[in-house]
Amino acid sequence: MSSDGASKRSAWSVRREARRRRSRRYNPDGSMTLIEHIYEFRRRLLYALLAVCAGGAVGFVWFAHGIGPLPALGDVIKGPYCDLPSEIRLDTGGGGCQLLQTAPFEAFMIQLKVGIAAGMVLTGPLWLYQLWAFLAPGLYNWERKYARIFVCAASVLFAAGAALAVVIVPLALTVLVGFGGETFVTALRGQEYVSFVLALLLIFGISFELPLLIVMLNRVGVVQYEQLKRWRRGIIAGLFVFAAFVTPTDPFSMVALAVALTGLFELAIQFARMHDRKLERRREAEGLAGLSDDEAAPFHYTPTDTTGAVEPSTAAETSGRRGSTDDVT
């Protein structure tokens, strides 16, 4: 066999062994060396960037051209501006509605920015999967289950916040550009207007994750329902202050964000209440409810593998060693 054939076979064997190491069938605990983790991270990052770039290309084309029944992204984004009363909006003379371009390549950069943002949304499942595939081998089954739930909930909450922002943008824009009355006419620069719309979408989407953070802290035992109940008034006041700081200086977006966050916070409190009650019933069933702070709790440990399955032999050996130790004692 020639040296080229041997080297090709060796390279193929190396790639096959690398795939086996990444497979949960042959490597369920995801054990790798440090350099293998770095290579795996690089590979997942490359796939995620390729997905975002592909989605960005689609979004770039979608900005100027509609896709089937979907209108063009450019028309959707400038819709709130075009809905302004004609007496306060600059008329281009042809009866159309256009944003201003005051610098070379400004329109190209806006189209690229909006296209990449739309592409990240369109290909979200793909690049999120790459992140998940890198982290999942180091998690237990129950950790993976909770991670899936929280990721899905976070995605839904972000989408709900962005949808609320889409409804609020026309009202906020009407209030903000209406202060000048008949003294000013509104001719918005494309860069500033698009940045305003995207920032509002991002602010509302991220803000809707705050109640989920409270639920996560309750699940890990950092905060309890009784604490949240005592802090309710202060937290609600803080939510209104937070909404006033992060939103533009108009009452509609501030009130809409604050009211929505208050409703989600109340829902998070009820989740914490149900979780704490369930935890208390479990503690009573295990005989831990009446223990004082300085009293030792009973400890029963059964070794498990990375999938959460009990290892009978190890458990038997452990119990046998414990029994022999107790006999000697």
Among the residue ranges 60-74, 146-160, 277-291, the one predicted with the least confidence is 277-291
| Nearest to 213, CA basis, from 228, 198, 201 | 228
Structure tokens at 134: 């890198």
What pLDDT is stored for residue 301 in this prediction?
A: 58
Report the range out of 97-101, 163-167, 170-174, 272-276 with the highest average pLDDT: 272-276
d(CA 118, CA 308): 39
Predicted TM-score (pTM) of the model is: 0.70
Confidence at 323, pLDDT banded by 50, 70, 90:
very low
d(CA 163, CA 85): 23
Contacts of 224 (CB under 8 A, 6+ apart): 218, 272, 276
Among the residue ranges 18-22, 57-61, 306-310, the one predicted with the least confidence is 306-310
Write phi, then psi, for 194 (nearest 5 degrees): -65, -40
Question: Model confidence over 27-80: pLDDT tens digits?
Answer: 655 566 778 778 888 888 999 999 999 989 998 888 888 887 888 888 888 888
The helix/strand/coil state of 242 is helix
pLDDT surpasses 70 at 23: no
What pLDDT is stored for residue 263 in this prediction?
A: 92
Mean confidence (pLDDT) of the chain: 77
d(CA 309, CA 273): 30
Structure tokens at 65: 């051209």
Question: Model confidence over 120-150: pLDDT tens digits?
Answer: 888 888 888 888 878 777 777 777 777 788 8
Question: Model confidence over 195-237: pLDDT tens digits?
Answer: 888 888 888 888 898 888 898 888 878 888 888 889 999 999 9
What pLDDT is stored for residue 293 in this prediction?
A: 57
Report the range out of 240-249, 255-264, 314-323 with the highest average pLDDT: 255-264
> By percentage, how much of the chain surpasses pLDDT 90?
9
The H helix count followed by the E strand count for the chain is 12, 0
What pLDDT is stored for residue 15 in this prediction?
A: 64
CB 110 within 8 A of CB 51: no
pLDDT surpasses 60 at 329: no
Confidence at 93, pLDDT banded by 50, 70, 90:
low
* CA-based end-to-end distance of the chain: 68
- Identity of residue 313: S
- Surface-to-core class of residue 111, CB atoms within 10 Å of its CB (0-12 exposed, 13-18 middle, 19+ buried): buried
